[in-house]
Amino acid sequence: MTNPPTPQSGSPDKEPVSEAQAAQNALGNTERAEVATKPGGSASTPEPEQKPSLGRLFMDNLWAANTFTVTLLSLVLAIVVGAVLMIISDPAVLSTYSYITSRPSDAITSSWTLVSEAYANLFKGSVFDPEAFSGWLNGTGSWQAVLAPISETLTYAAPLVFTGLSVALAFRGGLFNIGAQGQATIGVIMAALAGFLLPLPPGLHLLVAVLAGALGGAIWGFIPGILKARAGAHEVINTIMLNYVATYFLTWLIVQNGVQDPNRTDAISKAVDTSAQLPRLLGDNLRVHAGILLAVLATWAVAWLLNRSTLGFELRAVGANPDAARTAGISVTRTYILIMVFAGILAGLGGSNMVLGSTASALTPLVVAQIGFDGILVALLGRVKPWGVLLAALLFGALQAGGNRMQSYSGISLELVTVLQALIVIFIAAPALVKAIFQLRAARAARLQTSLAKGW
């Protein structure tokens, strides 16, 4: 009874931006609610209870279904399911389970070795590798080896920040942009074309190439935007279809004269000029490049756009209730088009990152990887808030980077990372499930619900 469910309050932009803050806010909210319920709540509880200590409140909230706890527990659940998958797919370990009743220690140790080694490699590949660190201290290794995991994580995270922001921005305006993949594809095409066709001086060339990517994304975002605004065509369907149109266009374009690498027979384009490549931040041995700085800048810009600008206000108003927004004099059609163009620009920048950074320097059919679809997951995990998206992208980047090491050191397929990512988001999207599994207290659970689309 110390912790009544707090009513949902506040506008979305006041919601916590980071995990640490999330916990703090949850704490603050409950205290406020505590004060608020005292006068009114006296009907059910005649004697006002003694105010619990701050530490007690903190512990209570820690096990309540707030954003931070649910996110953390979703991670835990995903990791557990991932471990189960590893065990059931390993015949050697699985065979120890056939005699688990007679010698349970075998099954337990072999499972533990398999799972802990894999996850340790995931961590070493993405955050910190103690062996590299001691090697550096002993003088046998270099400082680059120590920073390599972080560098990889940031490299993978940078494009995901852009596509995540693209999806999140559209969500806030009430649109579901599944087309980040297609927008990034057109972005990557334009950036690469600008990168190897235009003879420009260094600095300018890079700027033009990055902006060309943004322009490509903007075009591909404009189409579903205008179709939604003028014909009422649902953006989910159109963006899905445009994704494939973009992919086929890319595969066609690569093998055209003037685009294809003249020395190659397979589908690969000419390489982007070095003058159009994003500079590497920590020397040539580490892959981290200026894209991550642009990503942080973009996060800040989107946060500013959403929370401080007129357009952002209109966008959120349209997202919350298009009818009310129109009554208030906001042009819903114009806003829809602008949302999709901005979402396209962001996704297009993500595309630029893929070909101007260190991931690839030429167009191939798979140059965009999955950044558009991953962006959807990143946006959901980041609770469709700009800084949340940045953190989520870092987590996903870390999973990718660590997954590579897990694959080469433990022989666990990189696909496990896809499974983990999907599972995390499934659990995040259904806080009620996480709540039920862990018997969490109901606190602010309603707010966690990401209700977005409105059907076809």
Partner 1 sequence: MSTMAVPDIAVAPVDEGFWTRSRKVGITLLGLGLLAAVLFGALATNQQARFTLSDDAAGAALEINGTIGAILFGIITIAAGAALLAGVPKRWFLAVLGIGLVGFVLSFLCWQVSAAPAGQNFMPLVNIIRGTFILALPLIFGALAGVLCERSGVVNVAIEGQLLMGAFSGALFGSISGSVWVGLVAAALGGAFISLLLAVFAIRYLVDQVVMGIVLNLLAVGVTGFLYERLMQTDAAKYNSAPRFSNWEIPLLKDIPVLGPALFRGNIFLYLGLLLVLVIHIGLFRTRWGLRTRSVGEHPIAADTLGVKVLRVRYRNVLLAGVVAGIGGASYTLALYSFTKNMIGGKGFIALAALIFGRWNPTGALLAALFFGFADQLATYLGAISSSIPSQFLAMLPYLATILAVAGLVGRVRAPAADGKPYIKG
Gap between the Cα atoms of 7 and 94, Å rounded: 48
Exactly one of 24, 275, 307, 418 binds partner 1 (CB under 8 A); that residue is 418
Give the tokens for residue 326.
């129109």
Give the tokens for residue 166.
């693209």
- String of contacts with partner 1 for each residue 152-181, x by CB under 8 A: ------------------------x-x---
Exactly one of 55, 201, 232, 329 binds partner 1 (CB under 8 A); that residue is 232
Q: Which stretch binds partner 1 (CB under 8 A): 67-75, 103-111, 153-161, 369-377?
A: 369-377
CB atoms within 10 A of CB 455: 5
How many residues contact partner 1, by CB under 8 A?
59
Residue 196 or 396 with smaller CB distance to partner 1: 396
- String of contacts with partner 1 for each residue 308-347, x by CB under 8 A: --------------xx--x----xxx--------------
Count Cβ neighbours within 10 Å for each residue of 62-80 and write b for 16 or more, e otherwise. bebbbbbbbbebbbebbbe
Nearest approach, Cβ of residue 406 and partner 1 (Å): 12
Residue 419 within binding range of partner 1, rule CB under 8 A: yes
Residue 219 within binding range of partner 1, rule CB under 8 A: no
Gap between the Cα atoms of 263 and 229, Å rounded: 46
Gap between the Cα atoms of 178 and 196, Å rounded: 29
- String of contacts with partner 1 for each residue 15-54, x by CB under 8 A: ----------------------------------------
What distances in angstroms separate CA 162 from CA 20, 301, 396, 408, one per listed residue?
23, 11, 13, 28
Amino acid letter for position 247: T
Residue 429 within binding range of partner 1, rule CB under 8 A: yes
Residue 101 backbone dihedrals phi, psi, to 5 degrees: -70, -35
Q: What is the 3-state secondary structure (H, E, C) of 227-273?
A: HHHHHCCCHHHHHHHHHHHHHHHHHHHHCCCCCECCCCCCCCECECC
Q: Which stretch binds partner 1 (CB under 8 A): 62-70, 122-130, 385-393, 447-455?
A: 447-455
Give the tokens for residue 391.
């953190």
Contact 177, 340 (CB under 8 A): yes
Nearest approach, Cβ of residue 147 and partner 1 (Å): 29
Q: Which stretch binds partner 1 (CB under 8 A): 6-14, 63-71, 292-300, 411-419?
A: 411-419
Exactly one of 99, 128, 143, 244 binds partner 1 (CB under 8 A); that residue is 244
Nearest approach, Cβ of residue 212 and partner 1 (Å): 22
Gap between the Cα atoms of 249 and 236, Å rounded: 20
Give the tokens for residue 140.
């046998």
Nearest approach, Cβ of residue 367 and partner 1 (Å): 16
Residue whose tokens read 């852009």: 162
Amino acid letter for position 81: V
Residue 340 backbone dihedrals phi, psi, to 5 degrees: -70, -35
Q: Which stretch binds partner 1 (CB under 8 A): 68-76, 245-253, 272-280, 394-402?
A: 245-253
Within 8 A by CB and 6+ apart from 280, the residues are 286, 287, 288, 289, 290, 358
Residue 89 within binding range of partner 1, rule CB under 8 A: yes
Q: Is residue 355 helix, strand or coil?
A: helix
Residue 267 or 301 with smaller CB distance to partner 1: 267
Beta strands in 308-391 (DSSP E): none
Gap between the Cα atoms of 379 and 450, Å rounded: 11
What distances in angstroms separate CA 242 from CA 186, 374, 446, one per listed residue?
10, 17, 34
Exactly one of 90, 106, 117, 261 binds partner 1 (CB under 8 A); that residue is 90
Residue 376 within binding range of partner 1, rule CB under 8 A: yes
Exactly one of 85, 184, 340, 362 binds partner 1 (CB under 8 A); that residue is 85
- String of contacts with partner 1 for each residue 92-121, x by CB under 8 A: ------------------------------
Residue 423 within binding range of partner 1, rule CB under 8 A: yes
- Dihedral, 292, 295, 297, 302 alpha carbons, nearest 10: -170
Nearest approach, Cβ of residue 454 and partner 1 (Å): 5
Residue 229 or 356 with smaller CB distance to partner 1: 229
Would you tell me which residues interact with partner 1 (CB under 8 A)? 85, 89-90, 176, 178, 227-234, 236-238, 240-242, 244-245, 248-249, 251-252, 322-323, 326, 331-333, 373, 376-377, 380, 413, 415-423, 425-426, 429-430, 432-433, 449-456
